[in-house]
Amino acid sequence: MAGCLVAGAVSVGAGTYFGWDGFTIQSGNLIVIVVMIILFVLALVLPFPGGKRRK
Amino acid sequence: MTAQTTPGHGAPVDETDAHTWTGRARRWLLRKLPPDKLLPEDQPSFVASWAYVFGMGAIGSLLWIIVSGIVLGLNGPQWYHVSSLGSFVNSTHLWSVELFFIFMVVHLWLKFWMAAWRGGRLLTWITGVISFVVSIVAAFTGYLLQTNFDSQWIAFEAKDALNAVGVGAWFNVANVGQLFTWHVTLLPVAVGAVVVLHVLLVRVHGVAPPLEAAESDAQLLHNRPGATEPPEPAEPPEATEPRGTVQ
Ligand code: HEM
């Protein structure tokens, strides 16, 4: 059972890190944060489809 | 008993005449959340904005998290850590969690910048905060169930903190069976319950108006929550240009 639990566990790579002056961030975390900021800005500026139909 | 005075099935019941706890509970529920508030057909025109969509986005991802999680749990790790279909379903579970958190955080930013706790909606905000915290714990136990070197690292980083706050004996990151139970029963039920409460509170209060909406706005008067709540303080008079109504 314990063997099966870990059987699919592939070794995890070290990941890609970006850093500037003592600040480092892993690529996945950076991507998620950037995506959230883009979605936030788009939610404010994009018109809502069908919104004009409503009086 | 009171057979003669009790109205028959379908007869209108005088709601002021509740004399049992069930009757009082029904009266309270119907006053707080009448059916037309629970399942409305119209919303004020300002709701036609992407800013109001992300809560539903989080619910949508949560639904897929739950469906895929049930499939994973019923088939077991021998399936999801070994077969390719199992790995695929496992991956959709993970990616819907990523979407869930992305939508939830964008939702929370949007609600923060429109101060959506105004007008007696503080409990809506607080249930949002609780759902965020409980979701993080649920995700944490999920990462531990990967049972790879990542989860080993996460578990033993967290172990000292859990011991320091005194819960290490009951919430043992080194016990996979216990974590499995937390992850597939208690924490999902907790997230689900808080989200249901959160959405019911949104329905009770109606959707928060934009910051620049005027107190005299016809749509706000129409959507004002029940008389149990004081009206919001008046907005500055320069914001009184009229708005259309939806009906
Ligand atoms: C499990 C995650 C969550 C789900 C599924 C969820 C769902 C929703 C939904 C469907 C709505 C109504 C539609 C909308 O405005 O988007 C809503 C409203 C709201 N949410 Fe959330 N939410 C979550 C987390 C949060 C968090 C973390 C916060 C803030 C800390 C928050 C604060 C609010 C507030 C204040 C409202 C009321 C907005 C209004 O009345 O217009 N929510 N939520």
The pTM assigned to this predicted structure is 0.81
What are the pLDDT digits (tens) for B146-181?
999 989 999 999 999 999 999 988 899 989 999 999
Residue B124 CB less than 6 A away from ligand 1: yes
What are the pLDDT digits (tens) for B76-93?
999 999 999 999 999 999
pLDDT at position B1: 44
- The DSSP H or E segment spanning B185 is none
Task: Determine contact: B181 vs chain A, CB below 8 A.
Answer: no
CA distances for B90 relative to B67, B75, B109, B189, angstroms: 11, 11, 29, 20
Residue B187 CB less than 6 A away from ligand 1: no
Q: Give me the numbers of helices (H) and strands (E) for chain A, helices first please.
A: 2, 2
Task: Determine contact: A14 vs chain B, CB below 8 A.
Answer: no
Quickly state the pLDDT bin for B211 (edges 50, 70, 90).
confident
Task: Determine contact: B82 vs chain A, CB below 8 A.
Answer: yes
What are the pLDDT digits (tens) for B7-60?
555 545 555 677 899 999 999 999 999 998 899 888 888 888 899 999 999 999
Residue range A13-29: mean pLDDT, rounded: 88
Cα distance between residue B199 and residue B60, in whole Å: 13
- Whether the CB-CB separation of A32 and B105 falls below 8 Å is answered with no
Residue B107 corresponds to which tokens in the numbers above? 């939702």
State the fold for domain B47-210. Cytochrome Bc1 Complex; Chain C (1.20.810)
Q: Whose CA is nearest to atom 25 of ligand 1?
A: B128
pLDDT at position B131: 97
Q: Is the ipTM of this complex over 0.95?
A: no
Q: Whose CA is nearest to atom 24 of ligand 1?
A: B128
